[in-house]
Amino acid sequence: MMTPTQATTMTVNGTDIFTYNALIEKFSVSGTEIKNETYQGVNRTNYNLLSSLFYMKTITISIFLSADTRRNLTLAKSRLDNLMWGKVELGLPDGFYYTATLQSTGELAIVGIDDNSVIALCEYTFPGMQHDALVTSTGNTIDCHSTI
């Protein structure tokens, strides 16, 4: 039986994935890609910054799924895929939240079978933006210290 800990569980739109018999094996978050466009012109000792584009981070999550039969394991993965579909709010063990969109779901790779359960591993990939917990603001001033 799998047991959740702070380091192995995550939330998707506030729902803990452990309710789907799932736990995180590992996850990674890439650095933020930035693309600058410059113009140097005739004067080669200086340049002008024309634009700077800020891209999303890539979030890769490997998840263990557990069920009593292979059929129920496949159904559990389908339910988890449905939970992660579209634009979601991920809460990961690093303490940050990510507004992300599901880009790909991996195939189930069976890693263990015994008399009572089947355990498989699958991978999910999201482009997303990292932030702290969302807060509600009142009045005319918005202070945003959370986007990282």
Name the pLDDT band for 3 (thresholds 50, 70, 90).
Answer: low
Rounded average pLDDT over 46-74: 89
Name the pLDDT band for 60 (thresholds 50, 70, 90).
Answer: very high
Question: CA 126, CA 63: separation in Å to the nearest integer?
Answer: 14
Rounded average pLDDT over 76-104: 92
pLDDT for res 80: 92
pLDDT for res 9: 81
Q: Is the pLDDT of residue 48 over 80?
A: yes
pLDDT for res 1: 46
Question: CA 66, CA 117: separation in Å to the nearest integer?
Answer: 7
pTM value is 0.78
Query: Which residues, 6 or more positions from 135, have their beta carbon under 8 angstroms from its beta carbon?
Result: 146
- Work out the mean pLDDT of the chain and round it to a whole number: 84
Q: Is the pLDDT of residue 145 over 80?
A: no
15-18: long-range pairs with CB below 8 Å, 24+: 15/83, 17/63, 17/80, 17/83
